[in-house]
Chains A and B, each alone.
Chain A
């Protein structure tokens, strides 16, 4: 079950990306956080207890929403606009 529920922009152009290898679609204007959490219920696992996390402040302050791409690149999900083709992982607890 996704965490976030769209109230608008449902008909905006679709943007493809993958989540843990699965092809997904987001909408133009989505942040990485929105793109993930309208499909899934977590952004990442915490480093020390591997607990699911899904961000907190959504304004770039709490640093709880850093996600990793398959390339290893790191993004702060709430303050990064989704780009087409991003390959996002949510199941890795740490930066490799």
Chain B
């Protein structure tokens, strides 16, 4: 039997972008269906590193990132839980003078953006962050950044959306979307036939076929970050740590576990699933133990990986379709979507409501891929992949 549903907005993909858009749209009075091929918040946005970080983003992302920055402290009011968000600060380490010069250049470039970056020299680092081992010459500190529990935040947005009246349809893969008269017709798993005025394509690593079906091919690839978590420890570190030029990134959750990311995992036979390699995980572990003396006796209790959509210029696609009225894209966050996603959700809702947003997003237009050459990302850290992921929640 075919189940029919008619809504104002159909959202394909229940990650943090889709879920936060759903909640914002419902708040504006729209009827919304949120569809996920698996479980909401179970892919990239649900199982990433958990960095809530503006520092290091390319400058064109910062207005959107600042908008999201205002959302994070309001999580409890928005979704009923704080998502274990901690405004710990984010400290980006320099291993040599070249790294430090690059941090300095970034700080100067974003001076007007309100990140309040503080450059810290070797001695300052020893005084304030004595738990960092040798081999670091300086750092850049962003006091307003922090970290949160990704497993809770994305799922929490989806649960709040459901409570607000969004039709949340999990295990409901969208099998086809077509433009149909004034709106869209979607066919989905479980014989679901859905009509909507708007469609938001927030399908993450699975978004490209939907864009392509509307004449907008995108060079979306997949990356598989690799993560390690330790047993609960006494406090070893007080801030979210990144490294200029890549390497590891690490944070300690309030319960004491230390999450360390870096390297890359590899996909399994089913490329929707991935797992860290043993040697890659060992490299992450050894690097963390070398950088932080407090970790030298720690045990790793679990690894994970995930599937993340990546763009060649490391900027996401966010904004209206160039070919199809009513279609809006938001995907390809290239390992740095977690912090920015709640801001993207608000922006998407504004676009649905009024066709535009006050937040500058021109740099993220899908139209950039129809030009002869793609733009290259600016800034120093967009590619360091601070916010990776886990394999999917549905396994055959």
Interface, chain A (partner B; CB < 8 A): 47-48, 66, 68, 72-74, 94-96
Contacts and interface: CB of A to CB of B under 8 A. Distances in A.
Given A94-B232, A95-B299, 10 more contacts: A47-B255, A48-B232, A66-B299, A72-B296, A73-B297, A74-B299, A94-B233, A95-B232, A95-B297, A95-B298
B256 interface: yes
B11 to A, nearest CB: 37
B231 interface: yes
A30 B151 CA distance: 42
B221 to A, nearest CB: 38
B127 interface: no
Contacts of B298: 74, 95
A47 B258 CA distance: 14
A44 to B, nearest CB: 12
Nearest to A46: B232
A73 B296 CA distance: 9
B182 interface: no
Interface band, chain B: 10 to 19
Interface in B281-300: 294, 296-299
B249 to A, nearest CB: 21
B297 A72 contact: yes
Interface in B149-169: none
B279 interface: no
Interface in B204-240: 231-234
A47 B235 CA distance: 12
Chain A contact residues, majority secondary structure: loop
Contact of B231 (A72, A95, A96): A95
Of the listed residues A66, A68, A96, the one surrounded by the most CB atoms of chain B closer than 10 A to its CB is A96
Given A47-B256, A48-B255, A96 B299 contact: no
A94 B234 contact: yes
Contacts of B297: 68, 72-74, 95
B288 to A, nearest CB: 14
A24 B47 CA distance: 46
B149 to A, nearest CB: 16
B299 A94 contact: no
A47 B299 CA distance: 14
20 contacts: A47-B231, A47-B232, A47-B255, A47-B256, A48-B255, A66-B231, A66-B299, A68-B297, A72-B296, A73-B297, A94-B232, A94-B233, A94-B256, A95-B232, A95-B233, A95-B234, A95-B298, A95-B299, A96-B234, A96-B294
Contacts of A95: 231-234, 297-299
Contacts of B296: 72
Nearest to B298: A95
A87 B231 CA distance: 22
B111 to A, nearest CB: 40
A96 to B, nearest CB: 5
Please give me the 10 A-B residue pairs with the lowest Cβ-Cβ distance, nearest first: A72-B297, A47-B232, A96-B234, A94-B234, A95-B233, A74-B297, A73-B297, A94-B233, A94-B232, A95-B298
Contacts of B234: 94-96
A88 B365 CA distance: 61
Contacts of A73: 297
Contacts of A48: 232, 255
Contacts of B256: 47, 94
Nearest to B299: A74
B143 to A, nearest CB: 27
